[in-house]
Each structure stands twice: as structure tokens, then as C-alpha cells.
Amino acid sequence: MVAFGKKLRESQIQEWQGYYLDYKLMKKKLNRYTQQIEVGTQNRHLVLKDFSILLDSEIEKIVMFLLQQQGVLASKLLNLGEQYDSVLQQVDGAKIPELQEAYRSVGQDLLRILSFVEMNAIGLRKILKKFDKRFGYRFTDYYVKTRANHPYSQLRQVCKQVGVGAVVGAISRNLADLQDFQQHCGNYISIYDQPAFSHPDPVLDSIRAAVNRLSNSTSFLHYLGKHALLMGDDLQSPSEDHADDGRYHFMSLLLNLANTFLYMVNTYIIVPTADNYSMTLGAAATVCGVVIGSMAVAQVFSSVYFSAWSNRSYMRPLVFSSIILLVGNTLYALAYDLNSISVLLIGRLFCGLGSARAVNRRYISDCVPLKLRMQASAGFVSAGALGMACGPALACLLQTNFKIYKLTFNEDTLPGWIMALAWLIYLLWLSISFKEPSRVTTENIVPRESNSGKIVNISVENGPTQPLLSNSKAKQKDGDGDTDCDDAEENPTEIQKPVNSIVSAYRLLTPSVKVQLYIYFMLKYAMEIVLAESSVITGYYFIWSTSSVAIFLACLGLTVLPVNVVVGSYISNMFEERWTFKQVLLASEILVCIGILLSFHVLIPYSVPQYVSSALITFVSAEVLEGVNLSLLSRVMSSRLSRGTYNGGLLSTEAGTLARVIADGTITLAGFWGESKLLNTTLVPALVICVSSIVATCFTYNSLY
């Protein structure tokens, strides 16, 4: 990967060369400031003032030229509009192709403008990041907040591409109407009257892709898709995207999503009956924590080997996963007739060893084309959420008891038999329909600058957090003689290497990333405590039946997607996205803490409203927190962690799985003090972990995002 300064020069439109951000000049300014501060001839306030003035001047140059070019496009569209009206009045079909080409030409000019804005936006983000890194000062927060929120903001032109939407709309509408007119001899329908009536055009597809890259989209689809932590190459070249098209197979993607759904159903289908099954086999009810958690214990290890296996194949690990899950669920069901708690636990361990979520995530990252990757990522998250809700709901329907030969089929064993049958059907479907894609050498794949980190990220935090000049004396150099060793994302030898060792992955974890992973651990711990001990708690305090517990858990699971829709839509409508993410993150942590506090049984009799409301607050707040947390994690995590065995998705999965293991173990250990003390005993560590995560968030608040 070339240094950004060189990439900027190579990507410039030659006749517009003088209007791009002077990245080289600003890097030289940073070097000069460093030298001046070291010898004591410059102070912090003058550096901030001087660099702010320089940035203001550069942004003004960019924006004035951008407005000029938008005016040229608007003038061309006005002239074409007159020709368009003339064609409609004269019903002259012969002139339509010529007019269509003229609109496409304007579309090509718009693509040049979008490329101009994109390169300058990346340059602004990089130089601000370089300033913060060099001097240990959160200048970016201050600068972007003060400039973007001002009523005469020029930065807003770069952030939100004001005026581009009107040009895109004019080109799209007129091309569509001309095509309708040509095909239907004047009996056409406007795109405004029938929005779903689409007219694909290569120019419009290119414009749409460029706008999506540029706008740092936070629509619900993009918000949800980021939960999968698929930090792919947002600036992927057309040739690379066509290569992905050759590897993409819809049915194979559907099989990966089905695997995700079935595995989540498999995880939660036993939760309502695990305590009763344990007691039937002669163990205490609280052993349900070990029964539920044994699957997570095995998943800690299976995630690693499945992630490594996916470097070589996708189908073989999925086949292996299905066979292991088929065996595991069969053992789980047979444990009843064998009267063996050991067989029960071995069955659940086998189920955990069959967790192929790393393969599912990796297939989307490697084989789905860029234009479909966000939709596929959102599908991955939705499939998991739906499975989480369907598991307990399905358990509610299995309230029966009968025998076939010597095999017992009841509410305890049917979850195992049903899932064994489901995995058998899935295995047959997999062997018939899955298409193994061709392999691509990862060493030849060079991650590009992700548009998720553009200057559009806004914060209202300001002020210094460290001394202006950090102790480490970074030396820098671009292609013309300046050194740039302090920017890891510009190191061509390091950034190309996939992360295939835990040591390499750990070295890439900044304090912000570590805090985000800890927050993910905390929320998964809190959610697992609520879910895993629900059958024991409700049975002890309220004498709920298995059906009641299953309905309660299914209702909790069904809140996942609606909550994400609301939060994702809220964030997508906020201009100050960076500040909004951080606000929602901290607020969600506090609400999780409140939910945990309300769950304690102190003095007054424990009631159903208290339990249900506190569980709902804890669970829903954790859902909101998970969405924002993973979206932030996808931005602050190194791009190198998008590939390799120890990728970002695996690290987050391991953090969440470890949280589930510890939570389930806590439930079983707390059972030694009796069911009467189980609730408070398990909530104490959850509260401690939650409070510590809030403290950690406050300490790293200014460095998030």
C-alpha cells in the first residue's frame, strides 16, 4: 500500500490539481511545529491557532471550487431540461438517445466531483488524525465540532455533500423518464409516481456506489450490518468487485445464514427446560448454568479452529459443523433414557464444537461482492437475532410426552431430537446446493482506506487530554522526502499481512479497542445472566411453568430487531454521528446498570412486575449497547483485523463467548448457597463489571470513534 500523499497525487484529476487539499504542506507544517516546540520557540495555543487557520483556508479552497463545479453541472442540467421539454412537446423519439447520452455525460462529470470530494475528505481525516497522534491532543474533536456546527459551515459541504443529491435526482429522474418515454411512446410513469419502477443505468449505478462510499452511511441497514464486524475494503476497485462477483453464489450465502439461524436456535432452545432436565438426571436446578454454558466453553476453542479452517475451505468446515451438531443434539436427547448428566454435558460440548459462525462471517467478508456485503452482513445479524427468539418459542411448543420403543420424547428431550433432525436436513441441503468458491491469496489483498472513518465523524468534545507534544519523537516522510513512520496505516509491509497469531492481534489493540471489547464482554455477561437463570428464578419466586418461561424469553428475543431499527434510524438522522454514538454508548451502559440494580431482591417481596421490568430494561439496554458498541468497534479497530485467523469478528466472538462461560459458571457456583440467594449472588459480579465498564468508557471517552 502506497503512502496517502502519493496516492492523493496519483488519484488527482490533473486539471483540478491546484484545488485539492495540500496534504504535503500540512505534513511539513506538523514537522515544523514539532521542531519549534522542542526548541521552545512555539507554544501550544499558537500551534492550534495557526493550524486551524491553515485548515480553514484549505477547506475554503476546496468548497469554493466544489460550488463552482456544482454550478457548472446545474447550468448543463438547465440546458438539458429545455431540450427535454422540447422533445416531450414534439414527441420526437429520434432525439431521445442523444439526450440520454448528454445526461450520462453529466453523470460522468458528477462522478469526477464525487471523487474529488472523497479524496479531500480522506485527506482531512488523515491530517487531523496525524495531528492528534503527533501531539497527543484531541484537536479533531474541537475543530470538527466548532466548524461543522457553525451556521456558515464550509466543512458541512464536505461532510454532507450539500447539493449533490439534487444533481443525482435530476439525472436519475430524467434518464428514467426518457427511457419510459422511448419504450411506451409517451404513456410513461414518473419515478415520483411509482418509485419502485426502476431503470438500471450503468452511470446511475456508479453514482449510487460513489455516494454510498462518500456519505459514511448510517442507515439501519448499514448500522445493522456493522454488527457483523465485517470491516472490508470500502474503496474496493471495480476489478476486485468483479472478482468477488465470480466467487459469489446466492445459495451458498443462504446456507451460511441458515447455519447462523439454526445455531442460535440450538443455543437457546434448551434454556426454558435446562433446570428441569438437570433435576430429572439427579443434579441441582442451578446446574442448568453448566448445561447452558458448556456449549459456550467449547465455542471458545471451536471459533479459533473454524476461523483458521476458513482460510482453506468453506464447505468442509460447514459439513463438519453439521455432523458434530447432529451428534451433539442426539447425545443431549439420549441422556434422558441413559439417565446420565455426563452424556448431557458431552452433548452440549459437541454442540459448542460445531459453532461455525466464524465461517459464516468469513464467507460474507471474502465472497460476497461489495455492493451486497452490507445487506448480507445485516442478514447475518438478523438471522442470529431471529434464531435467539425462535429457540425459546419453539421450546414452548414441545410440551408433550410419549415413547417410541425405548426412546422418550418430552419437553426435555424434544429440543435435542428436533435440532438433530434440523441439522440432518441442513447437511443434505448443504451437500446438494453449496458451491465452494475459488480461493484468493490473502497476501495479495491490500486493505484500502475505509470510508467509515471519514471526516464526517463529528464530536463536541474539545480540549487537550495530554501534553501537546508526546514523548515519542515521531519522524515522518512521504514520497518527496518526509518520513511517516508514525502512521501504521501507511506502512506498506505491515498492513498487507493478515493477522494469524494472537500476539499480532493483541499488538493491534489500542486502549479504545480494549475498552470496546470489555464493554462487549460486560453486555454479554448481563444478557446471559438474565437468560440463563430465568427458569430457576421464575420457578423459585413465581412458580412459572416451562411454557411461561419460554414465552417470556421469546418476547425478550423478539425485541432485538425492533430495538435496532429504532436506534439505527435515530443515529442515521443525526448529523453529529460521532457524538451521538458516544452519547448512546454511555447512556446504554448506565441503563444496563440501572436494570441490574432494579433486579436485586432487597427487603420487599419480589414481584413479577419488578422482575419483568428490570429484565426488560437490562436486556433491551444491552441490545442497544451491543449495536452501538460493535459499530464503534468496527471504526476504531485496525483494518488489518478484517482478515486473517484472528480477525476482529473472532476477537469480539471470543469476548462474548467468554462472558457467557463465566456468567453460566457463576450461576452454578452461586447455586451452592441455595436458590434463595441465587439472584443477588449472580447480580453482584454483573454490577461490578458494569460499573467498571462505565469508568473505563469515561477514561477513554475522547478517544472513542
Using a 10 angstrom Cβ sphere, with 0-12 exposed, 13-18 middle and 19 or more buried, the burial of residue 477 is: middle
Report the half-sphere exposure of 117 (CA within 13 A, side-chain side).
32
Three cell numbers written together for 400: 408433550
What domain range includes position 340?
249-291+312-378+387-426
| Grid cell 471523487 in the structure block, residue | 115
- Decide if 442 is inside a domain: no
556, 561, 566, 570 alpha-carbon torsion, rounded to 10°: 130
Q: Are the beta carbons of 542 and 608 closer than 8 angstroms?
A: yes
When computed from its CA atoms, the radius of gyration of the chain, rounded to whole angstroms, is 28
* pLDDT at position 570: 60
Counting the structural domains of the chain, the total is: 3
Crossing angle for the helix pair 560-572 and 546-558, to the nearest 10 degrees = 20
Report the half-sphere exposure of 148 (CA within 13 A, side-chain side).
25
Q: Are the beta carbons of 310 and 584 closer than 8 angstroms?
A: no
Three cell numbers written together for 191: 419515478
Q: How far apart are CA 138 and CA 268, in angstroms?
A: 44
- Say whether both 414 and 364 belong to one domain: yes
* pLDDT at position 446: 38
Q: How far apart are CA 505 and CA 483, in angstroms?
A: 26
Using pLDDT thresholds of 50, 70 and 90, give the confidence band for residue 95: confident
Phi and psi, residue 409, nearest 5°: -120, 105
Q: How far apart are CA 262 and CA 256, in angstroms?
A: 10
- Decide if 499 is inside a domain: no
- Say whether both 22 and 71 belong to one domain: yes
| Grid cell 484537536 in the structure block, residue | 139
Residue 187 Cα distances to 89, 91, 103, angstroms: 13, 11, 21
Percent of the chain with pLDDT over 90: 34
pLDDT at 152 over 80: no
Three cell numbers written together for 104: 450520462
- Decide if 266 is inside a domain: yes
Q: Are the beta carbons of 340 and 220 closer than 8 angstroms?
A: no
- Say whether both 539 and 411 belong to one domain: no
Q: How far apart are CA 29 and CA 53, in angstroms?
A: 12
- Say whether both 107 and 255 belong to one domain: no
Q: How does DSSP classify residue 704?
A: -
- C-beta pairs of 378-381 under 8 Å, 24+ apart in sequence: 378/221, 378/224, 378/225, 378/228, 379/257, 380/228, 380/256, 380/257, 380/260, 381/224, 381/225, 381/227, 381/228, 381/564
Q: Are the beta carbons of 337 and 407 closer than 8 angstroms?
A: yes
- Say whether both 528 and 638 belong to one domain: yes
* Residue with more model confidence, 126 or 430: 430
pLDDT in tens, 23-60: 889 888 888 888 888 777 777 778 888 888 888 899 88
* Residue with more model confidence, 479 or 684: 684
- Say whether both 216 and 264 belong to one domain: no
- Say whether both 176 and 263 belong to one domain: no
- Say whether both 594 and 686 belong to one domain: yes
pLDDT in tens, 439-473: 654 444 333 333 333 333 333 233 333 444 444 44
* Residue with more model confidence, 220 or 499: 499
Q: How does DSSP classify residue 272?
A: T
Q: Which CATH number goes with the domain that contains 206? A: 1.20.1050
- Decide if 304 is inside a domain: no
**Bridge partners of residue 483, in order along the sequence:** 477
Q: 92-96, 128-132, 584-588, 608-612: which has the highest mean pLDDT? A: 608-612
Q: Which CATH number goes with the domain that contains 405? A: 1.20.1250.20
- Decide if 122 is inside a domain: yes
Q: Which of 365, 400, 426 represents a domain boundary (last residue)?
A: 426
Give the mean model confidence (pLDDT) for residues 306-335. Answer: 94
> What is the 3-class SS of 133-174, one letter each residue?
HHHCCCHHHHHHHHHHCCCCCCHHHHHHCCCHHHHHHHHHHH
- Say whether both 419 and 349 belong to one domain: yes
- Say whether both 528 and 653 belong to one domain: yes
Crossing angle for the helix pair 560-572 and 370-396, to the nearest 10 degrees = 150
If you average pLDDT over every residue of the chain, what do you get?
78
DSSP string for residues in 419-480: HHHHHHHHHHHHHHH--PPPP--GGG------GGGSTT------S-SS-SS-SS----B-TT
Q: Among 568-582, 601-615, 646-660, which stretch is predicted with the lowest mean pLDDT? A: 568-582
Q: How far apart are CA 24 and CA 480, in angstroms?
A: 9
**Helical segments of 12-95, H only:** 23-39, 44-90
Q: Which of 395, 411, 426 represents a domain boundary (last residue)?
A: 426
347-384 burial by CB neighbour count: b if 16+ within 10 A, else e?
A: bbbbbbbbbbbbbbbbbbbbbbbbebbbbbbbbbbbbb
- Decide if 406 is inside a domain: yes
Give the mean model confidence (pLDDT) for residues 413-431. Answer: 96
- Decide if 133 is inside a domain: yes
- C-beta pairs of 99-103 under 8 Å, 24+ apart in sequence: 99/178, 100/175, 100/178, 100/179, 103/171, 103/174, 103/175, 103/178
- Spatial neighbors of 195 by CB under 8 A, at least 6 apart, are none
Q: Are the beta carbons of 248 and 368 closer than 8 angstroms?
A: yes
- Say whether both 279 and 133 belong to one domain: no
pLDDT at 555 over 70: yes
DSSP string for residues in 279-308: HHTTS-GGGHHHHHHHHHHHHHHHHHHHHH
Q: Are the beta carbons of 227 and 377 closer than 8 angstroms?
A: yes
Using pLDDT thresholds of 50, 70 and 90, give the confidence band for residue 422: very high
Give residue 388's identity as a one-letter amino acid code: M
- Decide if 28 is inside a domain: yes
pLDDT at 153 over 70: no
User: Is this structure's pTM higher than 0.75?
Assistant: no
The 10 Å Cβ neighbour count of residue 468 is 18
* pLDDT at position 148: 61
Using pLDDT thresholds of 50, 70 and 90, give the confidence band for residue 535: very high
- Say whether both 544 and 671 belong to one domain: yes
pLDDT in tens, 583-619: 888 999 999 999 999 999 998 899 999 999 999 999 9
